[in-house]
Chains A and B, each alone.
Chain A
Amino acid sequence: MELTGAEIVVQCLIEEGVDHVFGYPGGAVLHIYDAFYKQDKIKHVLVRHEQAATHAADGYARSTGKPGVVLVTSGPGATNAVTGIATAYMDSIPMVVLTGQVPRPLIGNDAFQEVDAVGITRPVVKHNFLVEDVKDLAMTLKKAFFIATTGRPGPVVVDIPKDITAFKTDFMYPREIKMRSYCPTIKGHAGQVKKALEHILDAKKPMIYTGGGVILSNASEDLVTFTQTLGAPVTNTLMGLGAYPASDKQFVGMLGMHGTYEANMSMHNCDVLIAIGARFDDRVTGNLEKFCPDATIIHVDVDPASISKNVKVDVPIVGDVKQVLTEFNNQLSKNDRRIDSAALEGWWSQINEWRAQNCLKYDHDSGTIKPQFVVEQLHEVTKGDAFVTSDVGQHQMFAAQYYGFDKPRRWINSGGLGTMGFGMPAAMGVQFAHPDETVVCITGEGSIQMCIQELATCLQYGLPLKIINLNNRYLGMVRQWQEFFYEKRYSMSYMDSLPDFVKLAEAYGHVGIRVEKPEDVRQALEDAMTKYKDRLVFIDFMTDREENVYPMIPAGAGLNEMILI
């Protein structure tokens, strides 16, 4: 069957089972948009800025595990998408981004809306392609989906010149693909698995530290089995929250810069550290020289380059997290040996002493709205079962610390790149994927303004997002650092001339609510979830201006050197 390049693009997406494409049209992709117009299998979502298209596709991917798909035009379309591509790259999110390109004869001539999209995106993609022949188009798209979704996932950009989308060729979508230069290791080495288990069962003070890899690999159940069989404490990174239920007693909270005291102290004092699908990020380890001084470190990761990158590992296991955890669990079920129970009991009593510090306590009697309180109330009103996206800053940490995620893929945030403006468009992607679920975006008055135009997209598609704006009239995290480390010189951290967010929400056709007193917090949240269930509700919470995120590990300190409130 002969199809145009544009028709081939659409057919390939259908073959890949894509149901949503997030994008914005422009000159170089007009043929593709015309092909979209003539079909009804894929819903195209029109955003208001290409950055939002990538974040929406990203939110869709994080909440479903399926690759997010983006379509943007050449030049500024591609450059606007870069922030979202880099966001997905840093958090290993599967995404396929189609960028239009000027026709091949014009490439390199500084044509209108021409940029070297492959060159610009190269450092922030898992791989990218420039399609140079319409005959290669289907195979290139097949490769793009294959690369994006296998091994350590990530974004793949396919740059398609406009003339290619007009040419015709026979279309046949390849069923299978094999690339000699790309074959990720999935199964963990049996000898290493055995060796790791020996260390684990010999432990007196074991600690399980897991990251986003457990979620990406859909291995939460396996992690729960593993953790409960061992009886060991478990911590999740910012990216890994929800992989282990926060309400379980073996969960010691998030670790790292704003992690709990008990999580960080357990890390620092453990004798065997079992790192699974985590990458020893600098926000997690603190000062590397002081990191886990007495621990034998086991590291399971699908990406060999993540192993021994920051921290020298004693037992590396390269493989898919789910496969390796399944193997751990199989071996444990065949073996009656367990960690010495007396040692484990002693370890837990130590951990419970740390826990008794109650490091997440905060002032309930200030008369001001504490951001922590809003998040706790939100947890209650949504029964802890909402999809929660966030932007970046203090509100992100409060959400991570106080929401208590019991399920994977419920917590959606830009952990690696730390992209302000991520929250609302990501929530849109989540809501498209889960139309009947409650989707909340916890944000701040700084971040929300970085993609505020998407309120229009939400109206167009009737997305009933609940936007929780923790408005302290400061760039809170910047202000906190300036308070601690720059003698309160609040350089540019004050948001002067803020808009009236209630009127703004209303201007976009949504419901706006302002909350100024702690006693009104609960009612506003309940109204948002019930009275205005089917509307987008923007709640502008006027929070305590100078509340800080505690506890905190200052720069250069070890995990055992936290500042407590």
Chain B
Amino acid sequence: MNMKHIISILLENESGALSRVAGLFSARAYNIESLTVAPTDDETLSRMTLVTSGTEEIVEQIMKQLNKLVDVVKLIDLTVNEHIERELMLAKVQATGEARSEVKRLADIFRGHIIDITDTTYTIELTGTGEKLDAFLTSLSSIKIFEVVRSGAIGISRGEKSLTS
């Protein structure tokens, strides 16, 4: 069965490391739902979070193939254990007439923040799991959405278990 997996990867902060990972996924026809990468507290390392889906066998191959990349220092499938997932979304929506108060109410319910206002628009910042962000967008079904930007998921395991070099 195809399951969603969040894979966290520590990789050398070298030019080209990102394209090695992206190239691996396209060359082997693996699916990438989202991918984020940024430096860590150790400037020689980047941390990448990759959301993919596939059968158990495919995800096992993905993990092995990623591990084989020379730039990959360590990786973990966060979904195997307890973990926290967060994604950031910015949504710019129409805020005129009744929608102006309705959007504010919905943003409050989802613990979002309105971070920019014009006469006709609100821009809402919202963090949470991918499912929460999806739910927020669904709740806006009667509102005109101008633009949605999502960061892709990042994640961390719970407790003392850490992904470090």
Contacts and interface: CB of A to CB of B under 8 A. Distances in A.
A303 B65 CA distance: 10
A309 B20 CA distance: 20
- Secondary structure at the A interface, as helix, strand, loop or mixed, is mixed
B61 A119 contact: no
A261 B119 CA distance: 80
A485 interface: no
A545 interface: no
Interface residues of B, number: 20
A416 B41 CA distance: 42
Nearest to B26: A123
Nearest to B71: A181
Nearest to A126: B70
Interface string B1-30: 000000000011001100110010001000
A305 B61 contact: yes
A276 B58 CA distance: 23
Interface string B50-77: 0000000100110011011011110000
B81 interface: no
A118 B19 CA distance: 10
A130 B19 contact: no
Interface in A297-312: 303-305, 308-309, 312
Nearest to B10: A181
A179 interface: yes
B73 to A, nearest CB: 4
A308 B60 contact: yes
B165 interface: yes
A119 to B, nearest CB: 7
A28 B150 CA distance: 44
A122 B23 contact: yes
Given A118-B16, A130-B16, A308-B60, A180 B165 contact: yes
A126 B68 CA distance: 9
B57 A122 contact: no
B20 A181 contact: no
Given A182-B70, A309-B61, 7 more contacts: A122-B16, A132-B15, A147-B70, A181-B70, A181-B72, A304-B67, A305-B65
Interface of A: 118-119, 122-123, 126-127, 130, 132, 147, 179-182, 303-305, 308-309, 312
Interface of B: 11-12, 15-16, 19-20, 23, 27, 57, 60-61, 64-65, 67-68, 70-73, 165
22 contacts: A118-B16, A119-B19, A122-B16, A122-B19, A122-B23, A123-B23, A127-B70, A130-B15, A130-B16, A132-B15, A180-B73, A181-B11, A181-B12, A181-B70, A181-B71, A304-B64, A304-B68, A305-B61, A305-B64, A305-B65, A308-B60, A312-B57
